[in-house]
Amino acid sequence: MYDNLTSLSSLSLGKVGKIKSLQCDGMLRRRMLDLGLIDDTVIEALYKSPSGDPTAYYVRGAVIAIRSEEAEKILVELN
């Protein structure tokens, strides 16, 4: 369906992607949806913490931090 899908955790800093799928359920899925991570939302990787986890992302006018374990479950289409 989409040729260029990757996990959010592998999005390079400064790169932009479009959310295509959440590969989680339950409370984690609800939290991601509450943060505005829905289909076709544009997201940009901004910064990594000094330890490398979490990463800050710009989404819907806000900066949010997502741990790599959670970001692995979010599929994005590269722009």
- Sign of the CA dihedral 67, 72, 73, 77? positive
Determine the structural domain holding residue 20 and report its residue range: 5-78
Instruction: Locate all alpha helices (DSSP H) within 1-74, ordered by sequence.
Output: 26-34, 68-71
**Structural domains in the chain (count):** 1
Share of the chain above pLDDT 90, in %: 78
Tokens linked to 71: 């970001």
pLDDT at residue 74 above 70?
Answer: yes
Q: What is the pTM of this model?
A: 0.88
Task: Please write the tens of the pLDDT for every residue from 20-44.
Answer: 999 988 999 999 999 899 999 999 9
**pLDDT-based confidence at residue 2 (cuts at 50, 70, 90):** low
Q: Which CATH number goes with the domain that contains 36?
A: 2.30.30.90
